[in-house]
Chain A
Amino acid sequence: MSYAFVRSGLVAARSALAVLIAGAGLGLSGASVHAADVIKFGAPLPLTGALSPEAVKAKQGFEVWMDMVNKAGGIKVGDRKMKVEVVFVDYQSSTPKAVQAAESLITQEKVDFLFSPHGSGAAKAASNVSEKYKVPTVAATASSTQVFDQKPKYLFGTYTPNETLLGPLFPLVKAKLPTLKKVALYTRNDLFPLSLAQAIENNIKESGLEVVFNEKFAINTLDHSSALSQLKGAQPDWIFVTGYINDNLLIRKQMIDQRLQAPVVTMITGPSFPEFVKAAGVAGSENITGAAWWDAAVRYKSDDVFGSTEGYLRAFKEKFGSTPDYGSASYTVAAVALQMAIERAGSIDREKVRDALAKLNVNTFFGPIHFNEMGQADSYSPPIFQLQNGKTVVLYPPSVKQGELHLGVK
């Protein structure tokens, strides 16, 4: 155990150093290769500030793709192969700076294509820049339909809408628990958790269930005991908790403390990360259900550079020594989608690549990718999973299903 502790510290130190070195080398990177043979992609990332843990994952997602493509000689453009380079710019977790970063990538760094900054809000803000300069842009982590509701011409998102995330879980639970009636909803009062809770409320209404507890908690809440005492009194069959991993861990711990049990407990987003099981323990995480746009447990055959989900996992493990979570994979698939569009266009002409993105219909390690007329992915069902015995078991979609839903969270 102590070894693992020290080792994770070393890994952290090493990756921090890597970020520093990469940052310092920014101006020089790619200088050794002749510019005409390289396709440049711009990636504004929140490398420092509150979102920096996400950016570390995003960067790994890009790097594993970049390595794989360059090892294979590059992207096939018509009858020649072109190497790829992703230019990273830090926007310090500030949305206005993300917009500036996107613009400077186009005007100063002269990138050919762009990726959106992190999350729905920043992606929407920066999409104006893509429209202005007519640069095809792929958003890796924009799930709100509002990002796409003005039908941007050059923006494409690889996440399906929020509503698709948990909808399919309802019939699964109903089949296992015919007496299902009472649902409790406990939500972090924050942008993404709230919009997700809104989607869940719609799902609950459609299923004709009864909401017996519906409360929000403030960001930075250190104690949930009174809210959970109240929730316990409502005796729900199904408890939904939305929030981030820290909230989910604290709430799970306090549920156990209060001996709060229910047939089904669903948490978003904590259980999507390997750290959740590590911190909550096998017993503490048993039978918790969750969902994310991707999970390392899914298995797809693909026509992309990785060949399959297993191929992606292998490449990632070789490079970083760990299993990727959806934070990294989301960025990899954004790059993969752009790559496949360039290959289909047979050119790096921005208009041709945009048209190829709009028509894209391909199989990737992440799942099939196709965009609707607004530019948002509509081609796959995000995996719903359950933590069983410390492992992630996919329950849905049927094509990648690994096990049955188990009832009872103690």
Chain B
Amino acid sequence: MIFYQVLVNGVVLGSLYACIAVGFSLVWGVLNIINLMHGSFIVLGAYLALLAYSSLGLAPWWTVAVAAVLFFGVGYLIQRFLINRVVAAPVMLSLTLTFGLDLIIQNAMIYFFKADYRALNLNPALGSVALGTVVVPVDRLIATIFALLLTFALYVVLRKSRIGRAIVAVRVDQDAARLLGVDIRSIYAIAFGIGTAMAASAGTLLALTFPIAPVVSYAFLGKAFVVCVLGGLGSVPGAVLGGLLLGLVESFGSYAIGPEFAVMLSFGLLIAFLIARPQGILGRRGFE
């Protein structure tokens, strides 16, 4: 039954989208920074996975942890020393800053990795599993599971840990949080670090699925935007729901009205949400 195949395609794709978007949503929601470097961090994560596999034979699911730690540090430093300087300024300024930084990262990637498309081919290949006539690629299945695990972990951190609660507090009321002794600048840097770590981890997993090249970052960034608006800013479950919704709409849309319109459909959905429900499916202030 092609219906079930299209449904499974949509769910798997949706989970990948959620994985792409969750860190972006966190940074936008908490810091009110639209981080245009997000796509490039995903691509950098993918290059890390490629390097780890080609030089050490490490499969991407092992590289996830390394990527998370490494890029947490990168994100923390970028926020602490660069973005914190403009974080209180109007959003346009931080947008321009991340745009400029992204140009630097982009050109550095072209410089060091070339503009060629590469792919991470596991040997032996993972193949796909068949349930009746419905086929699911194993690499996408693994990425889906990890994406959901990572997202769940982030959700738990934000809900249960002291730092998580501090991030939420800063998001809800910055002044009150400061009065209660929260170090705002440090929390900002931590939140940005987490967002960057999520992007790079997503990238290591996506290396199995998508061809890797510096220019791919913009496609990821575009999806992250749409997912955030659909799911609601700053909400972890919202990113998952938004991702799934987008994946299903694209999958069924491509099937029903042709693949030519799948990309158009996702941006059409974005506009519809901005008009009818700008806060998204689960959008609200803070993480509860």
Q: Do A and B bind each other?
A: yes
Known: A12-B110, A12-B112, A250-B211. A225 touches B219 (CB 8 A): no
Q: Are A226 and B118 in contact (CB under 8 A)?
A: no
Residues of A within 8 A of B130 (CB): 259
Is A1 touching B119 in the complex (CB atoms < 8 A)?
no
List of B residues within 8 angstroms of A5 by Cβ: 50-51, 54-55
Contact of A53 among B9, B115, B218 (CB under 8 A): B115
Do residues B222 and A225 form an inter-chain contact, with CB atoms below 8 A? no
Asked if residues B251 and A225 are in contact (CB atoms below 8 Å), the reply is yes
Q: In the complex, A280 Cα to B116 Cα: how many Å?
A: 13
Q: Does A223 lie within 8 Å of B5, measured CB to CB?
A: no
Q: In the complex, which residues of chain A have a beta carbon less than 8 angstroms from the beta carbon of B261?
A: 218
Task: Please report the C-alpha to C-alpha distance between residue A1 and residue B259 in the assembled complex, in whole angstroms.
Answer: 37
In the assembled complex, the CB of A271 is this many whole angstroms from the nearest CB of chain B, namely 13
Which residue among B137, B254, B263 has the maximum number of chain A CB atoms within 10 Å of its CB?
Answer: B254
Supposing A12-B111, A257-B135 touch, asked if A223 and B250 sit within 8 A by C-beta, the answer is yes
Check B140 against A257 for contact (C-beta < 8 Å): yes
Which residues of B from 69 to 124 have beta carbons under 8 Å from A? 110-119, 121
Judge whether B258 is part of the interface by a CB distance below 8 angstroms. Answer: yes
- Which residues from chain A contact B121 at a C-beta distance below 8 Å? 279-281, 284
Count A-B contacts at CB 8 Å.
Answer: 135
Interface bin, chain B: 35 or more
- Interface 1/0s, chain B 8-25, versus A by CB < 8 A? 011011000000000000
Please determine whether B6 and A218 come into contact, CB atoms closer than 8 angstroms. Answer: no
Contacting pair A9 B114 (CB below 8 A): yes
Q: How far is the CB of B110 from chain A (nearest CB, A)?
A: 7
- For A221, list chain B residues within 8 Å (CB): 259, 262-263
Report the minimal beta-carbon distance from A225 to chain B, rounded to whole angstroms.
Answer: 4
Which B residues, 210 to 234, have Cβ-Cβ distances below 8 Å to chain A?
210-211, 213, 216, 218-220, 222-223
- A residues within 8 A CB of B5? 229
Query: Is A227 engaged at the interface, CB distance under 8 Å to the other chain?
Result: yes
**Residues of A contacting B: mostly:** helix
Say whether B2 contacts A229, CB under 8 Å: yes
Q: Which residue of B lies closest to A4 (CB)?
A: B54
> Does A246 sit at the interface, judged by CB under 8 A?
yes
- The chain B residue sitting closest to A230, CB to CB, is B255
Q: List residues 207-226 of chain A with CB under 8 A from any CB of chain B.
A: 215-226
Cβ contact within 8 Å between B259 and A249: no
* A1: chain B residues within 8 A (beta carbon): 54-55
Q: How far is the CA of A218 from the CA of B223 in the complex (A)?
A: 14
Contact call B113/A2, Cβ cutoff below 8 A: no
A1 to B120: give the CA distance in the assembly, Å. Answer: 12
B260 within 8 A of A: yes
The answer, yes or no, to whether B276 is at the interface (CB within 8 Å) is no
Asked whether A275 lies within 8 Å of B116 as measured between CB atoms, the reply is yes
Report the minimum CB–CB distance from B163 to chain A (whole Å).
33
Task: Indicate if the CB atoms of A257 and B117 lie closer than 8 Å.
Answer: no
Q: When the two chains form their complex, are residues B112 and A226 in contact, meaning their CB atoms are under 8 A apart?
A: no
Q: Are B263 and A233 in contact (CB under 8 A)?
A: no
Assuming A5-B55, A218-B260, is B254 touching A13 (CB within 8 A)?
no
Q: Are B9 and A246 in contact (CB under 8 A)?
A: no
**Residue of chain B at shortest CB distance from A283:** B125
A245-B254 in contact given A218-B261, A229-B5 (Cβ < 8 Å): no
Cβ–Cβ < 8 Å partners of B222 in chain A: 220
Judge whether B186 is part of the interface by a CB distance below 8 angstroms: no
List the A side residues contacting B139 at CB < 8 Å: 257
The 9 tightest CB contacts between A and B, nearest first, are: A2-B55, A257-B137, A227-B259, A279-B119, A1-B54, A12-B114, A225-B9, A218-B263, A226-B254
Q: List 17 A-B contacts (CB under 8 A).
A: A5-B54, A216-B259, A218-B260, A218-B263, A220-B263, A221-B262, A222-B223, A223-B262, A226-B9, A226-B10, A226-B262, A245-B117, A257-B135, A259-B130, A280-B119, A280-B121, A284-B121
